[in-house]
Amino acid sequence: MAKVGIFVGSSGGVTLGAAQKLAELFEGAELINMEEDYDAQFDDFDVLLIGSSTWGQGDVQRDWVDPLYEMQNEEPDFSGKKVAFFGAGDQKSHPEEFVTALGKMKDIFTKLGANTEFGYTSTDGYAYKHSAAEKNGKFCGLAIDDINQEDLTKERIHAWAAQVKNEMGIKKSF
């Protein structure tokens, strides 16, 4: 059974809420809040679900800034790891960089050798101008917008969990 680690950075609790729901849906997964567990060990896990909201002008959430900087400097080997991304944004107030953090993190993990071709989702149903999370016409992860589309969040999380489990070959428990 693959060991699943859910690593999350969230300032207002939206992405953390999604991470908690994912922890329920991925049976046996461990939830690591980057705010409390800065030295989190990615090594312990086969599957990484990486969550960050987007801040500033398309920046990753603050608890990810130092860890990502260190990763880029130290270049740990992520080959063999299956990684998928999720996070909250606001397409109405920040349409120029909607959930851009997902794209930035994907680029870093991919460069370090991780397989990040999981959990891509359709951009249909969202309205924004630009997002670095858009890769080949799809979001490279789960885009949550609790501010404008709160009613869709729960079903988006459930559908994404099922999709990622299927794509990664993780046994379904729901």
Ligand X SMILES: Cc1cc2nc3c(=O)[nH]c(=O)nc-3n(C[C@H](O)[C@H](O)[C@H](O)COP(=O)(O)O)c2cc1C
For the record, the structure tokens of 66 come out as 């130092």
Select the residue interacting with ligand X from 85, 135, 146, 165 (CB under 6 A): 146
Q: Does 99 bind ligand X (CB under 6 A)?
A: yes
CB-nearer residue toward ligand X: 10 or 33: 10
CB-nearer residue toward ligand X: 57 or 79: 57
Select the residue interacting with ligand X from 5, 45, 53, 108 (CB under 6 A): 53
Q: Between 4 and 43, how does the x/- string for binding to ligand X read (CB under 6 A)?
A: ------xxxxxxx---------------------------
Burial (0-12, 13-18, 19+ Cβ within 10 Å), 145: buried
Applying the rule CB under 6 A, the residues between 68 and 97 that interact with ligand X are 88-90, 94, 97
SS3 content of the chain, % helix, strand, coil (to 5): 35, 20, 45
d(CA 136, CA 122): 11
CB-nearer residue toward ligand X: 24 or 96: 96
CB-nearer residue toward ligand X: 56 or 76: 56
CB-nearer residue toward ligand X: 19 or 29: 19
Tokens 């589309």, residue located: 149
Residue 144 and residue 14 in contact, taking contact as beta carbons nearer than 8 Å: yes
Residue 62 CB neighbour total at 10 angstroms: 15
Residues that contact ligand X, how many (by CB under 6 A): 24
Name the residues that contact ligand X, by CB under 6 A. Answer: 10-16, 53-58, 61, 88-90, 94, 97-100, 146-147
